[in-house]
């Protein structure tokens, strides 16, 4: 049997909820299922306001608009991230400024942020890589001292915590992804979390094409009209119905993923001890959601060889990211003022292993293949 890299998990209730949305006759956004999902997010993440979006990319674009980014403003972020983290701000005319990552968590190196701040800096976007929190106390401290907004890219961080606080509840805003490669899914999907009360009202308007439609439905205005810039960022009820089924099993899904993560970590411990690989590091103050399990090989050549050996054994593994600063668009749109040695080094050596519910019965095959192959590379 082929072992895929990812296999979306279905709880079994998705179609039942979609049928209910269908028979309720409300197919557009912001119906009962959207409200239930948003209430779930608000309760479990302890965020002031959760708004479902059609992707994390959309939520990042909303966050960029809400940050009131002007052309030429600078936004500090890691280069080792998904393109949308940067693209959302580039669309507003901002310039991403890249800061290197920490060698242990691969998250933005908080000790390098302050020296990247200029008079044009408006925001910091920490990305919680692999569901492991960035050093948020330090980052919030820097942001407060310099009057900057913090937008957590928590695409990979649902159900993770930092010093007991859920990821997504710490910054002024945060974004989540429900893409099928994430832990809790709706195919495509996401959410914007607004923790700063000053931003909550405008968030509704931007998500509703720049209209005050939400205020109209709440009876706060007597007609609805165009009041601001905006776009259509909301998902349909069909997507929200699917997502609600997933949220109901969020704890179960996370626990099973954590067990698979732990198995990898234990089984591959001897390889790390003997210097063949490096395993993920989770600081004591962080609880991870087992979004991914990765290993670091000694160099790019070892990684290429391991991928092809595993492929011969029908085991699919993937790597990411091409650092944004070394991409064609990155060099066009971003400031690349400083060397990013850790980013450059990690990007060519990191390998992500299969992690999905149901892998348990095949995981021995993956760990055996790695144990046997890596020592011979
Ligand atoms: C997946 C991901 C995104 C984009 O999510 P979509 O829902 O596919 O738009 C953004 N940032 C990070 C860090 C991600 O992992």
Q: What is the CATH number of the domain that holds 337?
A: 3.90.1150.10
Instruction: Tell me, yes or no, whether 95 and 234 share the same domain.
Output: yes
Q: Which domain, by its residues, includes 314?
A: 250-374
CA 146 to chain CA centroid, nearest Å: 25
Instruction: Tell me, yes or no, whether 220 and 281 share the same domain.
Output: no
pLDDT for position 217: 87
How confident is the model over 41-54, as a mean pLDDT? 98
Instruction: Tell me, yes or no, whether 66 and 143 share the same domain.
Output: yes
pLDDT for position 335: 82
pLDDT for position 315: 98
**How far is the CA of 87 from the CAs of 79, 117, 226, in angstroms?**
12, 20, 26
Instruction: Tell me, yes or no, whether 153 and 177 share the same domain.
Output: yes
What is the phi/psi pair of residue 174, to 5°? -150, 160
Residue 297 belongs to a domain? yes
Residue 225 belongs to a domain? yes
pLDDT for position 338: 85
- Measuring CA to CA, which residue among 18, 61, 50, 58 is closest to residue 240? 18
Instruction: Tell me, yes or no, whether 156 and 255 share the same domain.
Output: no
pLDDT for position 306: 98
Write a three-state SS string for the chain.
CCECCCCCCCCCCHHHHHHHHHHHCCCCCCCHHHHHHHHHHHHHHCCCEEEEECCHHHHHHHHHHHCCCCCCCEEEEECCCCHHHHHHHHCCCCEEEEECECCCCCCECHHHCHHHCCCCEEEECCECHHHCCCCHHHHHHHHHHHCCEEEEECCCCCCCEECCEECCCCCCEEEEECCCCCCCCCCCCEEEEECCHHHHHHHHHHHECCECHHHHHCCCCCCCCECCCCCECCCCHHHHHHHHHHHHCHHHHHHHHHHHHHHHHHHCHHHHHCCCCECCCCCCCEECCCCCEEEECCCHHHHHHHHHHHHHCCECCECCCCCHHHCHHHHHHCECCCCCHHHHHHHCCEEEECCCCCHHHHHHHHHHHHHHHHCCC
Share of the chain above pLDDT 90, in %: 95
- CA-57 nearest atom, ligand 1: 9
Quick check: 95 pLDDT over 90?
yes
For 145, residues 6+ apart whose C-beta sits below 8 A from its C-beta are none
List, for residues 98-131, the tens digit of each pLDDT value: 999 999 999 999 999 999 999 999 999 999 999 9
* CATH code, 98: 3.40.640.10
Instruction: Tell me, yes or no, whether 85 and 208 share the same domain.
Output: yes
Write a three-state SS string for 315-330.
ECCECCCCCHHHCHHH
**Which of 152, 179, 181, 192 best tests ligand 1's pocket when mutated (most atoms within 8 Å of CB)?**
179
Mean pLDDT of the chain: 97
**Which of 51, 127, 156, 355 best tests ligand 1's pocket when mutated (most atoms within 8 Å of CB)?**
156
Listed residues 185, 217, 247: the one ending a domain: 247
Residue 214 belongs to a domain? yes
pLDDT for position 50: 98
How confident is the model over 362-368, as a mean pLDDT? 98
Listed residues 247, 263, 293: the one ending a domain: 247
- pTM surpassing 0.85? yes
- CA-179 nearest atom, ligand 1: 7
Whether the CA torsion 97, 280, 131, 284 is positive or negative: it is negative
How confident is the model over 82-86, as a mean pLDDT? 98
List, for residues 175-225, the tens digit of each pLDDT value: 999 999 999 999 999 999 999 999 999 999 999 999 999 888 889 999 999
Domain count, the chain: 2
- CA-55 nearest atom, ligand 1: 7
Residues with CB under 6 A from ligand 1: 55-57, 81-82, 84-85, 127, 153, 155-156, 177, 179, 190
Model confidence at 262, pLDDT cuts 50, 70, 90, reads very high
* 346 Cα to the center of ligand 1, angstroms: 19
* 271 Cα to the center of ligand 1, angstroms: 31
List, for residues 309-360, the tens digit of each pLDDT value: 999 999 999 999 999 999 999 989 998 778 999 999 999 999 999 999 999 9
* 84 Cα to the center of ligand 1, angstroms: 7
* 189 Cα to the center of ligand 1, angstroms: 10
Instruction: Tell me, yes or no, whether 27 and 163 share the same domain.
Output: yes
pLDDT for position 337: 78
- CA-177 nearest atom, ligand 1: 7
Model confidence at 286, pLDDT cuts 50, 70, 90, reads very high
Listed residues 221, 247, 273: the one ending a domain: 247
Instruction: Tell me, yes or no, whether 237 and 263 share the same domain.
Output: no
Instruction: Tell me, yes or no, whether 233 and 339 share the same domain.
Output: no
Instruction: Tell me, yes or no, whether 272 and 237 share the same domain.
Output: no
pLDDT for position 281: 98
Residue 2 belongs to a domain? no
List, for residues 152-163, the tens digit of each pLDDT value: 999 999 999 999
Instruction: Tell me, yes or no, whether 289 and 310 share the same domain.
Output: yes
Place of tokens 């039942």: 16
Instruction: Tell me, yes or no, whether 346 and 206 share the same domain.
Output: no
Give 52 or 331, the one with higher predicted confidence: 52
Quick check: 164 pLDDT over 90?
yes
pLDDT for position 336: 77
Quick check: 83 pLDDT over 90?
yes
Residue 9 belongs to a domain? no
């Amino acid at each position: 049997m082929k072992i895929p890299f990812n296999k979306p998990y279905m709880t079994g209730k998705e179609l039942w909820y979609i049928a209910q949305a269908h028979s309720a006759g409300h197919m557009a956004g912001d119906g009962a299922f959207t409200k239930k999902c948003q209430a779930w997010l608000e309760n479990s993440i302890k965020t002031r306001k959760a708004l479902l979006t059609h992707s994390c990319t959309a939520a990042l674009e909303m966050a960029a608009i809400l940050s009131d980014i002007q052309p030429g403003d600078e936004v500090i972020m890691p280069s080792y991230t998904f393109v949308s983290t940067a693209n959302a701000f580039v669309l507003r005319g901002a310039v991403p400024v890249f800061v290197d990552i920490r060698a242990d968590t691969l998250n933005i190196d908080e000790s390098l942020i302050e020296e990247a701040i200029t008079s044009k800096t408006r925001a910091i976007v920490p990305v919680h890589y692999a569901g492991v929190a960035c050093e948020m106390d330090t980052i919030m401290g820097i942001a407060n001292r310099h009057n900057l907004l913090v937008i957590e890219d928590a695409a990979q961080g649902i159900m993770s915590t930092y010093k007991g606080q859920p990821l997504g509840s710490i910054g002024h805003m945060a974004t989540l992804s429900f893409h099928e490669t994430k832990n809790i899914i709706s195919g495509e999907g996401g959410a914007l979390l607004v923790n700063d009360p000053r931003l909550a009202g405008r968030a509704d308007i931007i998500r509703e094409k720049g209209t005050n439609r939400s205020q109209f439905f709440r009876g706060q205005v007597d007609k609805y009209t165009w009041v601001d810039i905006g776009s259509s960022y909301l998902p349909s009820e069909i997507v929200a119905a699917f997502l609600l089924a997933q949220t109901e099993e969020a704890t179960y899904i996370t626990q099973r993923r954590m067990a698979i993560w732990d198995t990898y970590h234990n089984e591959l411990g001897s390889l790390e001890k003997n210097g063949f690989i490096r395993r993920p590091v989770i600081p004591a103050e962080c609880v991870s959601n087992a979004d991914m399990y990765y290993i670091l090989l000694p160099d790019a050549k070892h990684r290429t060889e391991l991928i092809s050996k595993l492929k011969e054994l029908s085991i699919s593994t993937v790597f990411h990211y091409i650092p944004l600063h070394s991409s064609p668009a990155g060099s066009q749109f971003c400031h690349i003022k400083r060397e990013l040695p850790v980013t450059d080094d990690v990007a060519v050596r990191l390998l992500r292993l299969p992690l999905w519910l149901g892998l348990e019965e095949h995981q021995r095959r993956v760990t055996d293949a790695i144990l046997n192959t890596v020592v011979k590379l």
